[in-house]
Structure 1
Amino acid sequence: MHPLLGLVVSYLAGSIPFAYLAGRARGVDLRKHGSGNLGATNAVRVLGPRIGGLVYLGDTLKGTLPVLLLPPLLDGSRPELWAIAFGVAAIFGHVRPIFLMGQGGGKGVATAGGVFFGLAWLPTLVALAGFAISLAVTRIVSVGSIVAAITLPVALYFWAGARDPRFIIASAIGAFVIWMHRSNIARLKGGTEPKIGASKREAPAP
């Protein structure tokens, strides 16, 4: 398989809008409810934890599977570098899905987690632990996501070193994820960011 075909396949996989499809199956356009974001968190908020959990699983797997399954099919060398590129393509597809005309994707947290679980599972588990602890303490998903985005490159630095391309990409994607949460950060500063278990009133739009 030519690497460019792998990039296209990875982008298309990342573009599958599981949150949108789950909402439509229930007669709901998630872009018009909750936070308006097509991610697992908003799916949980609007559709409930069972369906939201399935959305999270789908968003994670569309990052993991291209990284694990496509590199062995490549014609040529350096499959480990192409695995990283395929992961980036999947994340980009999630954020800018072609099936929704490049609009209305998620923030990339679950898909990035899936990508890096395939690339470096142990640092990813460390980041997941950071997410879980932060979520347990604050009950705010965005705080957990931001902590995970910071923890992952730090864990990769100690696990693989500063010159490892996975560390470099994790740092860039971590910064991107934090930037994608800029509206959440503004609400955190204002004390209006929704918490898990809070009242079910509509969350503020991003």
Structure 2
Amino acid sequence: MSRTLFIIDVQNDFTEGGALGVEGGAAVAAGITEYLAEHGEAYDLVVASRDWHHADDDNGGHFATDAAPDFVTTWPKHCMAGTPGAEYHPALDTSRVDVHIRKGQGVPAYSIFEGTDDAGASIGEVLTQHGITDVDVVGIATDYCVRASALDALEHGQHVRVLRDLVAGVAPESSEAALAELGHAGAAIVESGALPTAGAGAPEDGDGEAGTAGDRA
């Protein structure tokens, strides 16, 4: 078994005060840092994704330009390459990140599987190269990019856990629905505090019961 942690889009524009800030985003950033300090050695690879959109076009219709955003398929400008909003939240310790994925470079993109690393490799190629069999998912937003990334990881053949206290969503109802969908699709929905620290032995994936979102979902 080889395990990776996906840290999805913990960026300034997706946390409080950002262009598309979600409630609890900053707490998730800090919580992931605390989690990695205790559990980092449990992972063979840590991967972080960021939206990295063009500033000078609508990114394939992803940015609303001619009408108000519908917040479903069109959005206000956010996470534009090279801007402070696209940077990782300062509470997230990126020193433990092994692979950085950029997605949405000119096109709509939600899943980490739609991005590439600095060498142009897809996350699927990275997982295969490292022999990854298990993926834990944390980050923002539960009901959009976390959902899409976890579903694609399942489709890729990974055993997936979503750490529900380390995700934050756009809305409580859609976040609960996303976690329920992921549970039905085969992901384990677990609390990070229920996981042993590195060296203590990992629980079986089925030990985490699927349920509704926590306070930060």
Of Structure 1 and Structure 2, the greater strand share is in: 2
Of Structure 1 and Structure 2, the greater helix share is in: 1
Give me the TM-score of the superposition, normalised by structure 2.
Answer: 0.33
Give me the TM-score of the superposition, normalised by structure 1.
Answer: 0.34
